[in-house]
Structure 1
């Protein structure tokens, strides 16, 4: 791995971490496009790498801050547990489906999803 690659990976990791703690995004929306743009990874490689990065408890300290803020924190742990379990099941199923889809089509699906979210965020009060 070259020094340039290490610097790019460091910037991507730090940016994704900051945005994750700041507004709750970082994985797919930030890392996947940057892995493709700056490292030339395929869509499949970028998505897999983004998921691998999130395997360890990368958001532990951000979650801790939200948990300890104010009276009782800002996290409903019952909801978090339910969504986490379903997220794991969905992640398994989604990865099985994604690996069967051509990379070009997967990029288009990913782009459309990002566009829909962006438009909704920009134009919603």
Structure 2
């Protein structure tokens, strides 16, 4: 099947199959899978125009609701954290989208940017995993109990422990990551979960739902924005490829739902290790391609 906006031809069964496998594993860590789909589209399918970022946002819109629903149903959605993520990442994603179209349209430079972002996250999470081996592992199952949500602090209980973090830190981190996510085309929340785990010390089983919800909301804004500015750039593809994005999204919808359902049965460090391996493989590959 030919996808005109993307300018590629591929089997229509391949996008949903690939997105299902990726999102099943990444959704356990609060990552939609878009950050892995982008390298697949650019490297395997040869889809590297700015439009690929918009298509990734569209994938998130279709894929994420299943995982969000599951986390809400099982009582593992930290609503204060989720709203802080949305408020921080939303303006960041719009700024990132402008940077992507105006300053990083070259696929080679864009891949280098992606490589450094992923490499930093992967190394930071890997370091934390090594340190965590010396500490008792937190529980995987349980429900979230809100304790406080003010302009200065977010606090909640999970599995018999209380977790407390600065609202300002969450907002600033979300804003910065939102810019990165807007450039990358994955929604701000797509990579916020590893930051919360690595920098704020929050348990991965409690940040996943908030990160996915933040990704969903910001991705809607991303699609609207890319579609809206497309007429201003008639010389290149900017708007999403709707058919391709929906096909990716349908596979992701099933994958995120099942991944969210399985998360409570998987130990935290196992989830973190899966994320780190995926992140580092992509980062190293893009760095090598730029050097060569």
Q: TM-score, normalised by structure 1?
A: 0.81
For the residues of structure 2 that align with 1:98 and 1:120, how far apart are their CA atoms?
Answer: 28
Aligned: 1:101 with 2:266? yes
Aligned length: 123
Contact 2:193 2:207 in 1 (8 A): yes
For the residues of structure 1 that align with 2:281 and 2:261, how far apart are their CA atoms?
Answer: 23
Higher relative contact order (CA 8 A, sep 6+): 2
Aligned: 1:49 with 2:200? no
TM superposition shift of 1:50: 1.0
Aligned: 1:8 with 2:169? yes
Question: Superposition RMSD on alpha carbons, in Å?
Answer: 2.2
For the residues of structure 1 that align with 2:238 and 2:283, how far apart are their CA atoms?
Answer: 28
TM superposition shift of 1:7: 0.8
TM superposition shift of 1:27: 3.0
Gaps of 5+ in 1: none
Bigger mean CA offset, 63-72 vs 81-90:
63-72
Structure 2 residue aligned with 1:60, among 180, 201, 220?
Answer: 220
The equivalent residue for 2:189 is 27
For the residues of structure 1 that align with 2:190 and 2:224, how far apart are their CA atoms?
Answer: 22
TM superposition shift of 1:10: 0.8
Gaps of 5+ in 2: 1-148, 154-165
For the residues of structure 1 that align with 2:200 and 2:193, how far apart are their CA atoms?
Answer: 10
Aligned: 1:119 with 2:280? no
Q: Aligned to 1:41, what secondary structure does the other structure show?
A: coil
Bigger share in helix: 1
Q: Aligned to 2:176, what secondary structure does the other structure show?
A: helix
For the residues of structure 2 that align with 1:98 and 1:118, how far apart are their CA atoms?
Answer: 25
Per-residue CA distance 1:40-78 (angstroms, 9 max, x = gap): 2112222222113224x3123322232232347431111
Larger Rg: 2
